[in-house]
Structure 1
């Protein structure tokens, strides 16, 4: 698990489809042997990128304190100026590690400041909103892919990544789809475009919810229900307030929890139609279970205040560092190079789920 957290999402897609040539009657290359890294080797591989992310996070925190501006936004923008470090070189494993493992740790620790009572106060609306948003966005992806002459697989990939949890959802869904000549390209396109759009949403959506006058609770419902990746939801939510960030994180994790039933449903439909792409390998979202466990423990009142304060501080710094790393991964050049049809498809999916969630927030809460 940790080893995979130092690979890029594009590498993961390439590895997923490495045996494709054999399916076409060509000799398939032997899969590369993934060596078990020693702790020392692992630390040496990740420390340059993690050190850069920490440095950017410290700079962002200093500026945030002096200029009273959101630390997450500073971390993202500063990280984007150092994107060249993610193009090649020794920093790539550390940047990937910070944007994945460090992020998940920070999200899990957020559970130490949320209680079941706070979640219960939100009512059943977030659950119904998430189910409707994910389901209809996947269906919208299928419709738009047909209208724009794209493959049905790309429609499912794009709809799932926009509706659930970004690049992670695209890779999980791809593991059960039939393999075609365009499969790897479709996955990489979905990963590139959804990451770029999610970054844009992280910057624009907090300004949007402030402009239309949403309170902290409704702003959290909107941000958690619309932004694609977990990292950007956290960054956008805590840009507004702690309450908004907490609610946005909870709603987003509801969407992450939809990954397993959605992938399972796709696999079942394909199996019945005889077009199954193989056995699903869906990664269990361990940070989701850790978050839920900490919420349950904190709700019992057994965690002393020094422990919850320490967990909050560690969580905050993990998230700042992860957002800085995410900025370094963001490439708008790759987004433009993807072509207009995949980009327009996913922009319209993004607009669909944003409109649906905003309607729920305005009229059902």
Structure 2
């Protein structure tokens, strides 16, 4: 007799043994709930450990979760939604942190240094990766992560080129490792070289990968260093928009008319620029900026947990040591360009 199976309900087959009918499609809610829970834990832990940003904690929690237990397949749609859609929303909302006047206030010299850091860091890291034999997509993700704004840049570039999961995981892992190492390294080396607080702050903002990592390093130097470090870092974040536009144009040329071509400028980049314009206009009240900042933190922290859940030891082993060597080289390159630039601009 024919019957209608209910997804997830037990039925008895011809052999008499019980089997389970799996649902054909899974919703995003289970995975999204897990990522949201991970984000909540990360935010709570960051309150206890102020030197660690919730974004970094979320990545680490996701990686620990993925490697300690086997995550069921029903979680994948929600984790994918978080790592892609929520990430793009978070990147767009990141524009609310930027005031064009603050960046222009750095002066032409420092702005030129920021452009050199991002442009030179990406081109140089791509070249080193080519010498190492690292696949193009992987070295592009690493180059942008090191040169612009860490894991957010990695995921944003992935939104344009649709890289392999293991390439994204490797790039995010590299950002976490080397960006974290830069937190104590920049203040220590600045002290050894006798840099002024202002110059040290500019170097921190120009060389360290994540915004949160810059905040941690700048705070270790001084309050004045922290202020200038954040502005320089946000100037690098602004470069995300033109870099993604260039990558998108390149993708369109490569694909040609034979496949689905990405938009000339991704929608979330337009959103990012729109929020920058809104913040710079001064029309948004403080309460709106506060709500926007909270939403941005929630979206990015949730996305980072989902990205961390893709960092699995077995995947990293398959990727090999070359991405780590490339990331180390890219970190040193970006730091060197930034140091020379801020010394010339000072």
Q: Taking structure 1 as the reference length, what is the TM-score of the superposition?
A: 0.65
2:39 aligned residue: 57
Q: Secondary structure at the match of 1:122?
A: coil
1:311 pairs with one of 292, 297, 303: 292
Query: What is the deviation of 1:162?
Result: 0.8
Match for residue 93 of structure 2? 109
Deviation at 1:88, TM superposition (A): 4.9
User: Please, which of 60, 64, 68 is the counterpart of residue 77 of structure 1?
Assistant: 60
2:284 aligned counterpart, secondary structure: coil
- Which residues of 2 match residues 134-173 of structure 1 at below 5 A? 134-137=118-121, 139-141=123-125, 143-144=127-128, 147-148=131-132, 150=133, 154=135, 158-159=139-140, 161-163=142-144, 165-166=153-154, 168-169=156-157, 172=160
Query: 2:188 is matched with which residue?
Result: 211
User: Per-residue deviation at 1:197?
Assistant: 1.0
Secondary structure of the 1:292 match is helix
Number of the residue aligned with 2:102: 118
C-alpha separation between the residues in 2 aligned to 1:52 and 1:76?
13
1:83-105 Cα shifts (integer Å, max 9, x gaps): 24786512222222222322322
Deviation at residue 217 of structure 1 after TM alignment = 9.0
Distance 1:60 1:142 in 2: 33
Alignment partner of 1:297 out of 260, 278, 281? 278
User: CA separation of 1:223/1:97 partners in 2, compared to 1, >3 Å: closer, same or farther?
Assistant: farther
Alignment of 1:190-229 (within 5 A): 190-213=167-190, 219=201, 222=204, 227=209
Larger mean CA deviation between 56-65 and 255-264 belongs to 255-264
Q: C-alpha displacement at 1:117, in angstroms?
A: 1.6
Q: Is the 8 A contact 1:253 1:288 kept in 2?
A: no
Instruction: State the match for 1:281 in structure 2.
Output: 261
Residues 97 and 279 in structure 2, CA contact (< 8 A), matched pair in contact too: yes
Distance, in Å, in 2 between the alignment partners of 1:362 and 1:300 is 32
Which of 74, 77, 91 is the matching residue for 2:75?
91
Change (3 A) 1:313 1:343: closer
Shift of 1:312: 1.8
Give TM-score scaled by structure 2 length: 0.68
CA offsets per residue over residues 202-261 of structure 1, 9 Å max, x none? 42233333434585896577456653xxxxx24434556795556534412313422323
- 3-state DSSP of counterpart to 1:166: helix
Partner-residue secondary structure (3-state), 2:181? helix
Unaligned runs of 5+ in 2: 1-23, 220-225
Rg bigger for which structure?
A: 2
Quickly say closer, same or farther: Cα 1:111–1:86, change in 2 above 3 A: farther
1:259 matched to which residue of 2? Answer: 244
Correspondences of 1:314-329 after superposition (within 5 Å): 314-329=295-310
- 8 Å Cα contact 1:237/1:246 also seen in 2: no
Going from structure 1 to structure 2, the CA distance change for 1:355 and 1:62 (only over 3 Å counts) comes to: same
- Aligned length, in residue pairs: 298
